[in-house]
Structure 1
Amino acid sequence: AIVYNFEKLPEDVRNLLFKLAEKDSAAEYVARAIVYNFEKLPEDVGNKLLFELAKKDSAAEYVARAIVYNFEKLPEDVRNLLFELAEKDSAAEYVARAIVYNFDKLPEDVRNLLFELAEKDSAAEYVAQAVAENFEELPEDVRNKLLFKLAKKDSAAGDVARAVAKNFDKLPEDVGNKLLFKLAEKDSAAEDVARAIAYNFDKLPDDVRNKLLFELAKKDSQKRTLLLGMLHGRF
């Protein structure tokens, strides 16, 4: 209510917004209100609030979104908060999602944050999820480069396997093949590859699917039993 009616309120009531932004229990709600009403706030107030809220883990998602959505309107020091948030494990997920969802609207230095986040064990999973959810929205070269980078991360392997299997027909043949076979070789990703094959059985070319099954069958007996059990319902 304060954010939405900021211009109509007396100064003492306006100042409540800053007091609320300092409270862990309220920061998320203040940040969310700013995202949806950013243009209703005076520029100096919105910027000052973002600086305050960027300190709060609970507000990180909405601060990242507010910065990305209004990037071109913000001064450089406020824009740079996005880079600071990307350094925080608690905020990396939200920065990654905000960048992927708005990739075409952002400058190159912000886009490149995705590759930095993909290198971080704590953030790679979230970058992979965001890429999977927006598979066709990202430029092909960016998407493919990210997929190869993420395929090296155990935490992201499952999301990469599912994204590749589900969208196999949208990828260059060499890219799809290389990614799935690369993942199938990793013990940490074999289960995810098997699940991806099972869920997307009819979307994969017969030769690719069969080669992957042979690759998975090379795993140790305990893991092989698990993997083949996951696939059994498809035969």
Structure 2
Amino acid sequence: MAVDWVAVQAVATSILVLTSVGAIGYAGLQLRHERNYRSVENLEKQLSFFLSENFVGARRRLAQARLDVSNEDQPALLAWSLEAPPVSVFEVLDFYEHLSLLVKKGHLDVYDVWHTFYEWAQPVYVDMQPLIESAESMYAEHYDDLEHLMRQMDEIQINRMHNQKGNHWALWTPDRIIEHYRYELESGGRPRRTRRVPAREARDIAREVVREIQQSDPDAGPVKE
């Protein structure tokens, strides 16, 4: 019986192609898992820094620079200008710009950043919007990535509100911005969800927040212990 070597070669080629496709698919899956793991690890590092004593101090200094508490019953926002912005704001905005760059480079997931930092970043962003976005501001180009990230997180927030036509700026009226800065001064910089456990280390709190994200996002990678 003659062997049809052409047919054998065709079958072998098909098997090789299928094997290659399977290997590529598996490699892609492994790469995705590794990327998710690194993203979670990066998020944990950024949150640990956010909760560190040095950065909590920076956030408190900004709150002190922005809030007029001469009337304790009716605190108000202090006036500022593009020519003389509060110096303490730059350390805070630079951190959020760094987060934005990590998202842009694929080292952090935008949903994770929204879940973890939106309630802290957005009131500061709205308060300092002219500094970040105005064509007359010498710092506008410096915060391009932050501006883009905020738009992405605003979209997530609006979707979560189940109101595509909602005005997200209404969430951050002057009264709400004042409330944010008051909270920064009164809470010692701790997240609202962990206010009752101030003795925890920043890294433990970071792991707790990451676990919350994993529960709401099954694609997130494992938490590194």
TM-score, length basis structure 2: 0.25
Q: Which has the larger radius of gyration?
A: 2
Higher relative contact order (CA 8 A, sep 6+): 2
Name the structure where helix makes up a greater proportion of residues: 1
TM-score, length basis structure 1: 0.24
